[in-house]
Amino acid sequence: MPELPEVQTTASGLQSVLPGKIVTNVWTDWPKMFRGDTLAKFKKETAGRKVVSVKRRGKHILINLSGDTTIIIHMKMTGHLLYGKWQIKNKKWVPAQSGPLNDPFNRFVHAVFSLSNGKHLAFSDTRKFGKIVLGKTNTLSHSPHLAHLGPEPLEKSFDYEVFAGRLLKKPRGKIKTVLMDQTVIAGIGNIYSDEMLWRAGIHPETKVGLIKVPDLGKLFIAMKEVLNGGIEFGGDSMSDYRNIFGEKGHFQEKHHAYQKKGERCEKRGCGGIIERKIVGGRSAHFCPKHQNNKR
């Protein structure tokens, strides 16, 4: 599932190309994606509206349109947004030009927004779990799709005190699970939680209330470093994710824990072997040697 760095990379990319463009039409072969609205209603609410800005909230893309209307998109497990020119061939949308948009992972197009410049915003989603809904721009914070989200971890106001306070709302929870709880902190998922716990030397099953203050401090720093690193490297494309131009990110080349089961730990002087186990229904990858503070 795309996490904060992938969603931020997408939002930044769309912000560079969409403002000023007008939505002229919407197509889908999977109406269930438009939760709560019929396609006809969705088209009526968006047609003729100009894109004002594109932002991110948690794992959601927010495309703000004129007329106090926002398109809220959650890419879920396998979705990603693509920008370019498409055409229909053999009843399928395909890129009208050669290049990265022709990556096989970009071929599962189930929604297309036609734009006033003759280009398109396409939503490719292998498993069709994605969500596209409408909200009122001026009251987005109260939207049922966003109101439950915790604070943004990369905002300047999100300092160590806020970080520790958020985690300690669930002192008996396992740290891996609590980090991924979107009501606690928005945007962190499986990949980046593994990487920040590896950096901080904290076992994924450690209960939050038993983590020592110095270790919480290390985790806070690791969180900022890992998330900013994910953005710097254009997101993680170990699976389906691609940026708006169909290109892979490169954070998967920087993994130290995620999907490294059976490999030697890369921490200097450690020598442990990365293990994998299920924590809270999700996979966790960690080094049992230097992340050995499970309590």
Cβ–Cβ under 8 Å, residues 194 and 254: no
SS3 121: strand
Cβ–Cβ under 8 Å, residues 178 and 189: no
Cα distances from 84 to residues 114, 122, 143, 281, in angstroms, run 10, 8, 30, 37
Catalytic residue among 49, 57, 59, 176: 59
The Cα 203–Cα 291 span in angstroms is: 5
266 noted as active-site residue: no
Q: For residue 197, what are the contacts with CB-CB under 8 A and spacing of at least 6?
A: 175, 176, 179, 203, 204, 219, 222, 257, 284, 286, 291
282 noted as active-site residue: yes
Catalytic residue among 85, 119, 261, 282: 282
The Cα 167–Cα 208 span in angstroms is: 7
User: Active-site residue numbers?
Assistant: 2-3, 59, 282
